[in-house]
Amino acid sequence: MNGEALIDVRGLKKHFAVNRGFLSHHAEGTVKAVDGVSFTIYRGETLGLIGESGCGKSTLSRMLIGLSESTEGEIFFRGRKVDKRTINEIRTSMQMVFQDPYSSLDPRMCMRRIVEEPLRIHTHLSRAEKLERILPLVKQLGFSEDDLKKYPHEFSGGQRQRIGIARAFVLGPEFIICDEPVSALDVSIQAQILNLFRELQREKGVTYLFISHDMSVIKHVSDRIAVMYLGRIVELAGKNELFSDTLHPYTKALISSIPIPDPRIHTDMKPLEGELPSPLNPPSGCPFRLRCGKAMDICSSSVPQLREIRKGHYAACHLFDGDAGLC
């Protein structure tokens, strides 16, 4: 990580109008899937993005990579604003590794066609040149040249995810969004794939946004961590700082959910209770207040804003409003 901003996100929102029924044009309400998110991703780092299912992580990632338009806000890539005009120019610099290695690969395509596909779309390389480009990469990922003729069903889950990784890396991108890339894999395979991501990052200098609902996975891969709840970032800090000096009650609950293998170790952190509220009908004030053991009167009337509480450590919680931070 060299301190140069690669991605800059400012006030990004994605709101969906929800209708009463299939034929109705009467809007029942608005789902604020992403609601005013701002952050920076620095070149060469891994920013982990954690939150429960339905908190807006995937919607956010789809906007970043240009698969979905934002309702409001701006995204900058290498200092250039991403819009309809610029997205095609930068598309090859941004790639995605998907969650499910079973459905993200076309079963009718052999491995060679799958990995070469981005080259077919974005370059004019000959067939031989494409093969020359992909061979070192697939070999580095543990495949032989003969494997290129095989189809997805002939590979294990871990191998399929490595094919997805090869496809994401083949154009030499600067930025990769990893959307829950190990959650569909056996635990024994997860560590191999996570280590592979790190190895490729060290070698190629790529920048990751790594999305997961699993705090132990995020802890393993991230340099900094952003915690998302109901469409908002509620805490953002360097990994070590986030774990040693956790500020937000929601982050504390997520950290409590990491199993501790030693029964002699006790922590005062309480695991998360209750469910994520409906984004169609979120609580007033702080979106976390119905599950928060520290909620105060102000929490029901005022939405806490993300503020820098310590250098590089941001939190959105009224516990840290001026002197209220002492309680």
Where does this chain bind ligand SF4 (CB under 6 A)? Answer: 248-249, 286, 288-289, 292, 294-296, 299, 304, 317-319
The least distance separating ligand SF4 from the CB of residue 313, rounded to whole angstroms, comes to 15
Q: How far is the CB of 224 from ligand SF4 (least distance, A)?
A: 20
In the bound state with ligand SF4, the residue whose beta carbon lies nearer, of 48 and 249, is 249
Query: Of 98 and 320, which CB lies nearer to ligand SF4 in the complex structure?
Result: 320
**Least distance in angstroms from the C-beta of 54 to ligand SF4:** 18
- Measured from the CB atom, the residue of 60 and 317 that comes closer to ligand SF4 is 317
Query: Residue 231 CB, nearest distance to ligand SF4 (Å)?
Result: 14
**Residue number, 98 or 288, with CB nearest to ligand SF4:** 288
- Shortest separation between residue 58's beta carbon and ligand SF4, angstroms: 23
134 vs 315 by CB, closer to ligand SF4:
315
The minimum distance between CB 245 and ligand SF4, in angstroms, equals: 16
Q: Which residues contact 324 (CB under 8 A, 6 or more apart)?
A: 296, 298, 318
In the complex, minimum distance from the CB of residue 38 to ligand SF4, in angstroms, rounded to a whole number: 18
Closest CA to 50 of 312, 255, 201, 261: 255
Residue number with CB closer to ligand SF4 (77 or 288): 288
Rank residues 41 and 315 by Cβ distance to ligand SF4 and give the closer one: 315
